Amino acid sequence: MADDDPANRSRMGRAYSSGLGGGVLPRAGVRLIASAAAVPVARSASGGLVVPVRDGEASSEDGAERKGNDMADKQPNIVVFWWDNFGWGELGCYGGGVLRGAPTPRIDKIADEGLKLLNFNVEAQCTPSRSAILTGRHPIRSGTQTVPVTGGADGMTRWEVTSAQALSDAGYATGMWGKWHLGSDPENRSPVDFGFDEAVWCPRTADEVLWTMQSYFPNGTVTATPYAGPMQIPLEPEPIYARKKGEKHEVIATYDAEFRAGFDRKITGWATDFMRRSHQQGKPFYLYLPYTQVHIPTIPDPEYAGKTKRGNWADILTQMDDFTGQILDELDALGLADDTIVVWASDNGADSTWREPGGDPDPFGGLWNGFSGPWRGSLFTSLEGSNRTPCIVRWPGKVPAGKVSNELVHEVDLFTTLVLAGGGTVPTDRQIDGMDMRGFLLGDAEESGRDTVLCFNGNRLQAVKWRQWKLHLFKQDDFYSTWVPYSIPHLHNLEWDPREEHQVDFAHIWVAHPMAAAAGAFLKSLAIEPPIKPGTPDPYTPPKPGQLVPEEHLQIGPITQFVTTLHHPNGQPADVHQHQPEHGLNHAGGA
């Protein structure tokens, strides 16, 4: 049970151990055949960008043959390293390493032994990126398109199906340790509620560690009179939760600076212990490892603080490389390296927050400005410095060693590919945006099959990538700049202009046609399956086919435009409020 008395919480966390839980019942849903794509799909694809479905089994008809990839007879283990705000250019194998103060030999070796992606695309913010990789759906579908700041039930509704759920149903032992950021409620929207057998997690983000370093942080309840009346608004440090399937959660620590420094070491220890236990029980395992570095505050582990004599950032690179190596060494010790798919990637592009280091080691994290290699921009934008992050895939004997590719891949593709590689089932009762790329990501096919990436930032379609071209609909140069719509979209060729500084619009406007087709098909899919509103409580029930129909309106004013709305043809039943827009702010519910 949870220990809610702060006096009884251990500062660095109580001992954590757990056994493997059982399976989880699959979620049911309504099957709907949609015609939003050129290829018919079962509520799984928009714009021809995702997985065609045949009798519940997803298959690849994306142009990438699965040559050289017949899959192992037994289910592979799956380990996903998912780092936080780690830029494209930080690793040695991506041009960083010693240029950033420290080599990264263990991580670089994964690239030598597998596939290094140069054009791996993610969402612009933390919460959206985490829901995308776990559900295979663009976050605007699930109501997780922004980092939640105020009000309501934050995170995903329980209607969503994650890779952990699908792989657990297929017989996997599933575990997660690290940053969750997909729901603050430890009993209803925790990792365990979404298919993980066991987890230790911070529910939100490392930003809140800084609160514990401020003498003026209230650490209690406050009021906002007169507007909020006598409402007591809680402001408390972020907890660290632990939970096993079938049990209640417990609070094992407060997420303060001391725990922040040691968190990634603990994640590594919990993960290696889980691999040993799973292997002893003869179960394939799926490890989702959302490590917490290099999100601010970038406070190194005590063993690494000051180790490089080049500042916190180099210390962190060394720490990340060593912790990665410990996971790989455990796979070797268990004799499982050849039977394990390893994915090493980052959730967002580099951070652009700069603060001059004042000492070494710096207690507030030192140098915070990340490095995106040749690309411009940072997370929370739709520039390539935000879209592209490092991604390496290793599966000895299946993925050719030393392969490097600039083919388009989106993080949603990892959901579909890994679930199918593990013998799981991709849901057919909802829109799935991830493609089956087993032939490319886990084999020796040269093409990924993906032509297009839609670049969302919050609820805005901010840019569209098609092959080597990119069309920006909004201008936003960094995390802190205000986004503004372009009167005429700006088109760039990313091979000629990696920094997206020179337009090529007029001579190449033909490029907009396939881009518009992709965006139009995706928008049509939103009419077929309306997006879930952020803050929607559980239980969530999707509208039945035909329950909500589109209607076009002419809006006349300073800006005259046509607007399409969804409505119920026979009035508005009480439960349709889940699918309608709402405005207003509530008190803080977690960020």
Whether the upstream peptide bond of residue 539 has omega within 30° of 0, thus cis, is: yes
Vertex 115: Cα angle to 129 and 379 (nearest 5): 25
Which residue in this structure is represented by tokens 């993960």? 271
pLDDT of residue 50: 37
Cβ–Cβ < 8 Å for 373, 328: no
In which band, very low, low, confident or very high, does the pLDDT at 344 lie, cut at 50, 70 and 90?
very high
Cβ–Cβ < 8 Å for 172, 286: yes
Distance CA 432, CA 420 (A): 13
Query: DSSP of 159-213, one letter per residue?
Result: T---HHHHHHHTT-EEEEEEE--S-S-TTTSSGGGGT-SEEEEESS-GGGGGGGG
pLDDT of residue 540: 95
If one compares 274 and 311, the residue with the highest pLDDT of the two is: 274
Tell me the domains of the chain and their CATH numbers: 6-149+161-454 (3.40.720.10)
**Maximum Cα interatomic distance, the chain, rounded to a whole number of Å:** 70
pLDDT of residue 535: 92
If one compares 581 and 266, the residue with the highest pLDDT of the two is: 266
pLDDT of residue 356: 66
pLDDT of residue 436: 98
Q: Please give the structure tokens belonging to residue 189.
A: 């929207």
- The answer on pLDDT for 245 being more than 90 is yes
Distance CA 144, CA 142 (A): 6
Least confident of 80-94, 355-369, 400-414, 483-497: 355-369
pLDDT of residue 478: 86
Q: Please give the structure tokens belonging to residue 480.
A: 């802190």
Distance CA 400, CA 394 (A): 8
| Sequence-distant (≥ 6) Cβ neighbours of residue 306 within 8 angstroms | 315, 360, 361
| Sequence-distant (≥ 6) Cβ neighbours of residue 361 within 8 angstroms | 299, 300, 305, 306, 312, 315
Which helix (DSSP H) or strand (DSSP E) does residue 107 occupy?
helix 105-112
Average pLDDT, integer, range 247-253: 98
Q: Please give the structure tokens belonging to residue 515.
A: 């881009």
- The answer on pLDDT for 337 being more than 60 is yes
pLDDT of residue 571: 55
pLDDT digits (tens, 9 = 90+) for 368-411: 689 999 999 999 999 999 999 999 999 999 999 999 999 999 99
Q: Please, what is the average pLDDT of the chain?
A: 85
pLDDT digits (tens, 9 = 90+) for 92-150: 999 999 999 999 999 999 999 999 999 999 999 999 999 999 999 999 999 999 988 76
